[in-house]
Structure 1
Amino acid sequence: MVVGGSHRSPNWRAHIGATLKGLRRLRNVRPPQMAERLHLSIRAYENFENGKGRLNVERLLRVATLLDADPYATLTALDVGSPEFAQRCANNKLMSILMLALRDFDRKAQDAIVGLDPLFLMKAFSAFFDQLAEHAAEQQEVIARWQRLRDNPDEDGGGEPEAD
């Protein structure tokens, strides 16, 4: 993770605020509640949430944990410049799962990782994430179809829609 490094988004301070506020709102938690959970004054928490002062990664991870969000996705959201990414991964823990898979890959491949061609890696990851995005879109369509049928049972002759 390059948080604080040369790859950091130029708007990382704004992204901290948007990321933390988004997660907090997703979980229906108010700033005073977060301040209390973190043993901070409300003002200190609000300053932290708004990206004022130094980036405190430990506190950022603690907020993610307290909100039952994916801590790796919270950090990644800052690196990729997408506060929404943390919210999108809050429930499915995508980045934590990816980190576990990377850990297993490191254990299996060990020093052979050094010889992997960057072009191959880019193609492999692009193909994987394209397939994952396609699957996510299909899943969303199934959910949307199910909700339409649930809300308008006359469209399909009544009854509950079948799961794919």
Structure 2
Amino acid sequence: MRHPPRIVATGKIPIELQPRSRIGNPIFSGASAPCFTKPVDGVLTIQPVQVAARFMDGSPLQDATGRTATLPLVLRAIRRRRGLRSAEVAKAMGLPLRTFQHFESGRGGIDIDRIHRFAEVTDADGYAIMLALDIGSPDFAIHCLDNKAATVMLVALQRFDRGAGANIAKLDPRSIIAIFDRAFDDLTAKAREHEVVLESWMTDTSFTRAYAPPD
């Protein structure tokens, strides 16, 4: 009788291994269906990054092709939102116009230093641009233009790294996901509070009457 491979994982993801006739091809049930390597000496190694992505919403981060395709969408959206022409941004970055156009089109690949220089010139959040490429959301970079939310998050991450140090390795993926979910839910609620206040202000009839033009 052949025994199923032993499971090795860095986190405490609650998964249940169901019987399957082929070793190395088990079925996982529950909230997540983690990726795993081929068994070596009867051991399956779960990939924690893939576990986290699938545990949350089943959407893995973009690959290199996806990031390259997203880059021009992000750069053009930011430049246009700032009301800048290509020639203006190129001059501010110290680049020939054709070189800038090559960069903005994404044909030159992802140049991190140049992306951050672009962010300085356009008063954008360079880290939001980089994250937008990974998560496949040009809108994220636009939403972070003025509040620099991605930079703020990375500063908080830097503080966490300094404070927790080696203890970070002791955290299991499920706990990390739950804590981040709560934090982002709180931020979402905070953003909606502002939206509700704005909508209330715009529909306030007393305000409208007070500033109505005279008959």
TM-score, normalised to structure 2, is 0.65
Alignment coverage as a number of residue pairs: 151
**Which residue does the alignment assign to 1:69?**
124
Higher relative contact order (CA 8 A, sep 6+): 1
**Which residue does the alignment assign to 1:37?**
92
Percent identity over the alignment? 33
Q: How does 1:11-30 map to 2 (within 5 A)?
A: 11-30=66-85
Q: Which of residues 98, 109, 122 is equivalent to 2:153?
A: 98
CA contact (8 A) 1:73 1:93 kept: yes
TM-score, normalised to structure 1, is 0.84
1:92 positional shift: 0.5
Mapped to 2, the partners of 1:19 and 1:54 lie a distance apart of: 14
The answer to whether 1:143 aligns with 2:198 is: yes
**Which residue does the alignment assign to 1:50?**
105
1:13 positional shift: 2.5
1:54 positional shift: 2.6
Of 104-113 and 9-18, the range deviating more from structure 2: 9-18
1:114 positional shift: 0.9
- List 4+ stretches of structure 1 deviating above 6 A: none
Query: Cα gap change, 1:151/1:40 in structure 2, threshold over 3 Å: closer, same or farther?
Result: farther
Give me the CA root mean square deviation: 2.0
Query: Cα gap change, 1:9/1:129 in structure 2, threshold over 3 Å: closer, same or farther?
Result: farther
Structure 1: 5+ residue stretches without partners:
1-5, 160-164
1:107 positional shift: 1.2
Q: Which of residues 58, 78, 87 is equivalent to 2:133?
A: 78
CA contact (8 A) 1:19 1:74 kept: yes
Higher normalized strand content (fraction of residues): 2
Q: Which amino acid aligns with 1:76?
A: L
- In terms of Rg, which structure is larger? 2
